[in-house]
Amino acid sequence: MRAESPIISSPEKQSRLQKFASLAITILAWSLWAYLWLPTLSVISAVFGLPINQILVVRRPDETSLLLIFLIMLASNFVVSVWSSYNYVRFAKRSRRRRPNSASHEEVGKLFGIDDPATLSLLSEGRSLSLYFDDAGRLVKVDGASAKTAPQ
C-alpha cells in the first residue's frame, strides 16, 4: 500500500529562465553521461573495424585497472557480507545486555534539576505551559499561565 503523498509541485511559480536552465542542465548532464561511454564505443568500433573509431578519443583499457576495479567491487561485497553476518549472528537474535529499569518521572525530573512534585505534576499535566531558563540552559521556572512569545 503506497502513501497518499502530500506533494507540492508548482513549477508555474518558477520563471521561464529557471525552467530553461533546469532543462538545459539536465540535457547537458545526460550528454556528459553519454560521453563517459565513448571509450567503450571506441573499443567496440575497433573490434568491428568501424570507421567511428577515427573520430573518438581511443584509449586502450588498462587491464590491471579493470581487474582492480572488479576486485574492489568483490572485496566491498565480501567485507559488507562478513561484517553484517557477524552482526546478525552475534547480536540480532538475542540481547547481550539487560535493559535498565524504566526511568521514572521523578528520576527524569531530577536529571533536569526538578525535585518539586508540584512542578513535575504541572509539567506532566499542563495543557499550555511556559518554561523559563537561565543563561546556562537550566530550567528555572515553569508557569501554568502561558507567556507564548516574547520579542527577542
Partner 1 sequence: MVGRILLAFAFYYPLSMAWVWIFGALTYYLRRERNAPSRGLPPELPFWPKATLVVPCHNEGDNVRETLEYLATQVYPDFEIIAINDGSRDNTGDILDELTAVYPQLRVLHFPKNQGKAMGLSMAALASNSEYLICIDGDALLDRYATRWLMWHLLSGERVGAVTGNPRIRNRSSLLGRLQVGEFSSIIGLIKRAQRTSGRIFTVSGVIAGFRRTALHQIGYWSKDMVTEDIDVSWRLQMNHWDIRYEPNALCWILMPETIRGLWKQRLRWAQGGAEVSRRYLKSLLIWRRRRMWPVMFEYLLSVIWSYNMLGILVLSFAGTVIPMPPWLYVAGPIPTWFGAILGTTCIIQFLFSILIDRRYEDRIGRQFVWIIWYPLVYWILGMLTTVVGVPKAFFKRTGTRAVWDSPDRGIR
| Among residues 33, 51, 63, 64, the one that binds partner 1 under rule CB under 8 A | 33
Q: How far is the CB of 16 from partner 1 (least distance, A)?
A: 13
133 binds partner 1 (CB under 8 A): yes
| Among residues 44, 55, 84, 116, the one that binds partner 1 under rule CB under 8 A | 84
Task: Report the Cα 49 to chain-centroid distance in Å.
Answer: 47
Give me the phi and psi of 108, to 5 degrees please: -65, -45
Q: How far is the CB of 51 from partner 1 (least distance, A)?
A: 21
Taking alpha carbons only, the member of 42, 66, 44 closest to residue 54 is: 42
32 HSE (CA, 13 A, CB side): 6
Q: How far is the CB of 58 from partner 1 (least distance, A)?
A: 10
| Among residues 44, 67, 103, 140, the one that binds partner 1 under rule CB under 8 A | 103
Burial class (CB in 10 A: 0-12, 13-18, 19+), 142: middle
- Give, as ranges, the residues between 46 and 75 that touch partner 1 (CB under 8 A): 57, 59, 61-62, 65, 68-69, 72-73, 75
The amino acid at residue 149 is T
Total residues interacting with partner 1, rule: CB under 8 A: 83
Handedness of CA 88, 90, 94, 98 (dihedral sign): negative
Smaller CB distance to partner 1: residue 50 or 128? 128
Q: How far is the CB of 106 from partner 1 (least distance, A)?
A: 11
Task: Report the Cα 133 to chain-centroid distance in Å.
Answer: 33
Q: How far is the CB of 17 from partner 1 (least distance, A)?
A: 12
| Dist. CA 120–CA 126, nearest whole Å | 10
| Among residues 16, 17, 36, 118, the one that binds partner 1 under rule CB under 8 A | 36
